[in-house]
Structure 1
Amino acid sequence: MNKYELALVVNAKIDDEERAAVVEKAKSYITRFNGTVTDVEEWGKKKLAYEISHMREGFYYFIQFEADSDCPIQVEDNIRIMDNVLRYLVVRKEDKKQPEKEEA
């Protein structure tokens, strides 16, 4: 299993219940494709770097999960068509390994 992080930027003009439903739906896509959600970070409302769909602010969420290599593709395909998601990105998190010391 690999570790991944899903970054979501959600429409800031919707109410809290709808925003929570968007995040839950994204989490359900992860579990549907045999992934395991390990953590959800809510960064709150932030100003966007540029205007997206006539909006200047969005709510940022970061969802960490573990899954096989085919899960992120399936998750992105389903999140792509969600209404209130402005931007999304799934990245693989690298394991922090201790560098091996070379012996001379």
Structure 2
Amino acid sequence: MRPYEVMVIVDAGLDDEVIRATIDRATALITANGGTVGKVDRWGKRRFAYEVNHRSEGYYALIETSAEPVAMAELDRMLGLADEVVRHKVIRLPDKVAGRAARPTVSDGAAAAPTQGA
């Protein structure tokens, strides 16, 4: 499983229940596809620097998760189709940033032999 961050911006004009349901639906999709949701940071309503789809405010939420790429592709598709989502971004975190050891690389089956030199 790989670490990801998902930023979701939901239309701030919607009811709080609809906003909460949208974010919960995203986290449920991650867990249904075998991923784990670490932390959901709800930033709340923020004003945009410029209008996006004729809206000036959005409700921001940041989801930290670990999942397989297939699960994140499905989440990306679901968020792209949701009418209540203004913008979203799925970012795969590098192993250094996520606090993990680097994934071992697969060699041609043999360990590197020590070089013989004079």
Once superposed, which parts of structure 1, at least 4 consecutive aligned residues long, lie more than 6 Å away? none
Mapped to 1, the partners of 2:37 and 2:20 lie a distance apart of: 15
Mapped to 2, the partners of 1:49 and 1:32 lie a distance apart of: 35
What residue ranges of structure 1 are gaps of 5+ in the alignment?
Answer: 98-104
Return the structure number with greater relative CO, CA threshold 8 A, min gap 6: 1
Mapped to 2, the partners of 1:23 and 1:30 lie a distance apart of: 11
Contact 1:40 1:62 in 2 (8 A): yes
Q: Which has the larger radius of gyration?
A: 2
Give CA-to-partner distance per residue, 1:25-64, whole Å, 9 cap, x none.
Answer: 1111211222111110011111112212211010100001
Give CA-to-partner distance per residue, 1:53-104, whole Å, 9 cap, x none.
Answer: 211010100001101122211110111111210000100111226xxxxxxx
Q: Equivalences for 1:76-87 in 2 at 5 Å? A: 76-87=76-87
> Would you tell me which structure has more strand in proportion to its own residues?
1
SS at match of 1:42: strand
Q: Equivalences for 1:23-42 in 2 at 5 Å? A: 23-42=23-42
TM-score by length of 1: 0.86
> Sequence identity, in percent?
36
Alignment RMSD (CA, Å): 1.2
Number of matched pairs: 97
Mapped to 2, the partners of 1:3 and 1:49 lie a distance apart of: 29
- 1:93 corresponds to which residue? 93
Contact 1:33 1:75 in 2 (8 A): no
SS at match of 1:88: strand
For residue 17 of structure 1, report the CA deviation from its aligned partner. Answer: 1.0
Q: Equivalences for 1:3-42 in 2 at 5 Å? A: 3-42=3-42
SS at match of 2:24: helix
- 1:43 corresponds to which residue? 43
